[in-house]
Protein backbone atom coordinates (compact mmCIF):
# COMPACT_ATOMS: atom_id res chain seq x y z
CA UNK A 1 0.00 0.00 0.00
CA UNK A 2 1.01 3.58 -0.58
CA UNK A 3 3.04 4.91 2.34
CA UNK A 4 3.96 1.50 3.74
CA UNK A 5 7.41 1.27 2.18
CA UNK A 6 9.18 2.39 5.36
CA UNK A 7 7.46 -0.24 7.46
CA UNK A 8 8.31 -2.94 4.93
CA UNK A 9 11.99 -1.90 4.91
CA UNK A 10 12.16 -1.81 8.73
CA UNK A 11 10.41 -5.18 9.00
CA UNK A 12 12.84 -6.71 6.53
CA UNK A 13 15.81 -5.24 8.42
CA UNK A 14 14.50 -6.66 11.71
CA UNK A 15 14.00 -10.09 10.16
CA UNK A 16 17.56 -10.03 8.80
CA UNK A 17 18.95 -9.04 12.20
CA UNK A 18 17.14 -11.99 13.75
CA UNK A 19 18.18 -14.40 10.99
CA UNK A 20 21.86 -13.44 10.95
CA UNK A 21 22.32 -12.75 14.67
CA UNK A 22 23.63 -9.25 13.98
CA UNK A 23 22.92 -6.35 16.33
CA UNK A 24 22.52 -3.21 14.19
CA UNK A 25 20.95 -2.25 10.88
CA UNK A 26 20.48 0.92 8.85
CA UNK A 27 17.31 1.63 6.88
CA UNK A 28 17.08 4.62 4.54
CA UNK A 29 14.37 6.12 2.36
CA UNK A 30 14.19 8.72 -0.37
CA UNK A 31 11.04 10.77 0.28
CA UNK A 32 11.02 12.93 -2.84
CA UNK A 33 11.82 16.57 -3.36
CA UNK A 34 15.49 15.96 -2.57
CA UNK A 35 14.78 14.81 0.99
CA UNK A 36 15.68 11.54 2.67
CA UNK A 37 15.58 9.89 6.07
CA UNK A 38 17.62 7.18 7.75
CA UNK A 39 17.06 5.09 10.87
CA UNK A 40 19.53 2.93 12.77
CA UNK A 41 17.95 0.07 14.70
CA UNK A 42 19.65 -2.05 17.34
CA UNK A 43 18.71 -5.39 18.86
CA UNK A 44 19.16 -5.43 22.61
* Confidence (pLDDT) at 31: 82
Q: What tens digit of pLDDT does each residue of 7-17 get?
A: 999 999 999 99
CB 13 within 8 A of CB 36: no
pTM of the predicted model as reported, rounded to 2 decimal places? 0.77
Q: What does the pLDDT read at residue 21?
A: 95
Distance (Å, whole) CA 22 – CA 37: 22
Mean per-residue pLDDT of the chain: 91
How many C-beta atoms surround the C-beta of residue 25 within 10 A?
19
Domain that holds residue 9: 5-42
Specify the pLDDT at position 30. Answer: 87
- Give Cα 25 to chain centroid, integer Å: 7
**Over 90: is that where the pLDDT of 19 sits?**
yes
Amino acid sequence: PLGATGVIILGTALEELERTGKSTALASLCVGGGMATATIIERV
